[in-house]
Structures are given as C-alpha cells and as structure tokens.
Structure 1
Amino acid sequence: MTKTKILLVDDHAIVRAGLRLLLESQSDLAVVGEAASGREAIRAVKELRPDLVLMDVAMPDLNGLEATRRIKAEHAKVQVLALTMHENEQYFFQMLHAGAAGYVVKGAPPEELIGAIRSVTRGEAYLSPPLTRRLLDEYLDRVKEGQPAVDPLTDREREILRLIAEGLTSKEIAAKLAISPYTVERHRANAMAKLNLHNRAELIRYAIRKGLIDLEA
C-alpha cells in the first residue's frame, strides 16, 4: 500500500508528538518530518517532498498563512491542510486563498482529522463542521434579508463549478456528464467570468458559500 507522506508543522513539540502518534497508527499514513515554523516547513517540503502538509496557522518566524502561499507557489501538487485553534472564518478564507485545501480546528476529534487528511489527499476540500455551520448561518441570513440566494448561473454551469470544486479534472467531468472537455472548459470560463472568479481557491470559496459542495462527506 502506498502511504500518504505527511509533514507536521506546529510550533509546539508536544502537539507534533501527539499528531505523529495518531497518524502513524493509520496504515495508509506516514509522517516523514516535522517543522516548528513556517520557514522550517518551506525547507522541509523541498527536502522531503511530502504529499500533504498539516499546517498550523499562528507560528513565530513566518506564520502558516505565508508559508502556505510560498509552498503552493513552488510545489503546486503538495496539499496543505490547516490545523489550528482559530475558528474564525476569516482565518479559513485567508488560508483558502493562500492555497490550503482544508481547515480543521484543533478541538476536532481524532477521526475527523484523519478523515480530513484522506479527503484532501483525494483532491477534495474539507472544512470543520463548526465553520460549516457558521457559513450556513451566514448564507441563511442573507436569504432572509432578501439577497439573491444564487448567482445568475445556468444549471449546467453550477454543476460544473461544483465538480471542479470537488477536485475533478475537465476530462473527468466530461466523462461524468457525457460532454466534451471543450464544453466543460467553455461552461467553466463562462461561469467564472459571470462571478468574477479568477482561480480555484475563489471557486471553492464560492462553492462553500452557495452550498454546492458537502464538506462533511
């Protein structure tokens, strides 16, 4: 079995030790290294080539937000999953824009963290339930205030954006919907232009706010 190689990044040694014990109890996960700061994380990614970085957000000597930006800029295929004490949605959106694929709060049960790692490794997005609830409440408040519940997309455009946000490629979407990859790209471009979205991070943020993807699946 090919194991998912994980780099642990947290400025507290006791947290890293606990995470290592938890993750290495799983047959499909392997901790290949540790880092105590964002700068150490950047160096470790270059040396160890992990599949996933479990990244704390608030750290000295370069925080997790900036470290994630730099790691994703140089190693696009490396997935970053934020693990932090902060439940404020502002931190989540900042990490998402930096390139993180998911966000787990440190109060989460162990099985949630393991599930989040596996989801992100599959190319899916993940958001802890407390933040999911908060975003849903915000969405419902906007609806109650009379703001449009959906953006002016066609059903097909919305469907394609949902599948992209779930991590599918244009080729995979084309096969799933029985259309050509060119048609997928055309719908994607039209939808992103309508919504003024410029990259996958913005697309995922839109999908979360509109409830197009199930982050707890």
Structure 2
Amino acid sequence: MCNPIHVLIVEDEPLIIDVLTNALNAISDSNGLYDFKIRSATNSDLALKEVDRAIKSIPFDLILLDISIPPSTDKRILSGEDLGIEIKSLFPKVKVMVFTSHNNNYRLNSILKSLDPDGFLIKSDITYVKLLDAINSVLQEPPYYSKAIQQLIRRHISHNFVLDKIDRQLLYHLYKGAKTQEIANLVHMSKSAIEHRKSNLKTTFEVDGGSDRDLILKAELAGFI
C-alpha cells in the first residue's frame, strides 16, 4: 500500500515546478512506495497560504524549496530561507530540500546553518537522475547534499558565518533605498539598534568604515541580496 506523502513545491519558475512534479511522479511509478500529494506555490504569499491550509488540515511531509523566491507582500518573508525556517518551526517533522543557484560559500554556509536542510542542491549540479536520487535519499536516509555543498562542508569555510532574519531584512531594505529610521520602523527596532547591526554587518562583510553602498555591494556579491 502506498504511503501518502504531502509535498509543497515552492519555486518561481513553472518549468522547474513541472520538472520536480514529474520527478516525484516517476519515483512513485517506479517503486510504488509513495503516493505524492503535490501542491505548489510560485511566491512567498502563495506559499504562506498553502502553509495555512496545511496547518488546518494535513501537515506537509516534504518541502522542495527554492531559495530565490519573490518576497511576501509584507516583507516578513524575503527568501526561501526565511520561509523554510518558518515552515520547520510549524512542522517539526517536515523534510526540507533546498534548491539554489547561489554558489557563494558565505551564502551557502548561512543556509546550511540557519535551515539545516535534509537535502541541499545547487541547480548547476543537478541532472534528472541525480534529482531522483536526491529525493529518494531525503525520503529514506537524509541528508543528501550535492557536490558543491559536500565540498563546502569538507573545507569548513566560514563555519560561523550566518545572518539572522533581521540582518537579511536590514540588507533588503537598504538595497531598496530605505533610510535607517525607515528600516527601524519596518523591523520594529530602535534606530541605534539598526546602526549597531549595520556596523556588525560591515565588519562581517569586511567593509569596516565603508558606506552603506559598500555593504550592499559586498552582500550582493555574497548572494544575500
């Protein structure tokens, strides 16, 4: 008898959603072990609606999550990283597979530390066969990390480098041109607290004494914007 697996695909490219859906169906057809119940969302707002639906009915078992998804309207969720953290807090038993085009070690390490995903794949590493193997591995014996992630872990690059949600929001609003007081209002913190965080971020990104623009450029290069 097939085991029902409730899946949410969060990806802003419909073509990739189709590929992931086909992969899940191929796994189901090949082994008969799983009956995938698949839902999808192309942005954070739609994903949050699916999460609310799951809270009221049946929790998700598996999330296939792209990191670079459009933010929520209220800017509470700025990326797949924020969304994944929220989903894991709501569904502690859910398995999360992360897909990303980012290849910057700082960004990848931050995702590893903040999300601790059951699967982590760089899109450029993936073939269809590897995708099937990855999904099967996550379902049966996680974790599954693609080659680039395995190399990152072996090198232990920037093992303490991680930005929290407020840091990511601060960078996002700076990138959009918001001033310090505006950011303070948006994230519900004092102006001095925002300045302190900006100072820490400049140290983190090695632009001590630099301008906000310098910070934005380094954060963008590192894949955080």
1:21 aligned partner: 22
Query: What is the TM-score when the length of structure 2 is the normalising length?
Result: 0.55
Provide, for residues 32-82 of structure 1, a one-character-per-residue CA deviation record: whole Å limited to 9, x for no partner: 100112332232133242211000001112310100111111111111110
2:72 matches 1:71? no
Q: Counterpart of 2:110 in 1: which secondary structure?
A: helix
Q: C-alpha distance in 2, partners of 1:132/1:64?
A: 21
Q: C-alpha distance in 2, partners of 1:5/1:126?
A: 19
Q: Counterpart of 2:3 in 1: which secondary structure?
A: coil
Q: C-alpha distance in 2, partners of 1:29/1:127?
A: 24
1:89 aligned partner: 105
2:118 aligned partner: 101
Provide, for residues 113-141 of structure 1, a one-character-per-residue CA deviation record: whole Å limited to 9, x for no partner: 222222222352221012212443x25x9
Change beyond 3 A, Cα 1:120–1:92: farther
Counterpart residue identity of residue 60, structure 1: P
2:38 aligned partner: 32
Partners of 1:51 and 1:121 within 8 A in 2: no
Query: What is the TM-score when the length of structure 1 is the normalising length?
Result: 0.57
What runs of 5+ residues in structure 1 fail to find an aligned partner? 142-217
How many Å apart are 1:103 and its aligned residue?
A: 0.6
* Identity in percent: 24
Partners of 2:64 and 2:99 within 8 A in 1: yes
Partners of 1:87 and 1:131 within 8 A in 2: no
Q: C-alpha distance in 2, partners of 1:110/1:45?
A: 28
Counterpart residue identity of residue 85, structure 2: R
2:135 matches 1:117? yes
**1:28-177 alignment runs, 5 A limit:** 28=34, 30-48=36-54, 49-61=59-71, 62-99=78-115, 100-107=117-124, 108-122=126-140, 124-136=142-154, 138=155
Q: C-alpha distance in 2, partners of 1:117/1:45?
A: 21
2:175 aligned partner: none
1:2 aligned partner: 3
Provide, for residues 162-191 of structure 1, a one-character-per-residue CA deviation record: whole Å limited to 9, x for no partner: xxxxxxxxxxxxxxxxxxxxxxxxxxxxxx
Q: C-alpha distance in 1, partners of 2:35/2:121?
A: 17
Partners of 1:65 and 1:94 within 8 A in 2: no
How many Å apart are 1:31 and its aligned residue?
A: 4.7
Counterpart residue identity of residue 98, structure 1: S
Which stretches of structure 1, 4 residues or longer, exceed 3 Å deviation after superposition? none
Change beyond 3 A, Cα 1:97–1:39: farther
56-65 vs 87-96, greater mean Cα deviation: 87-96
Query: RMSD of the TM alignment (CA)?
Result: 2.2
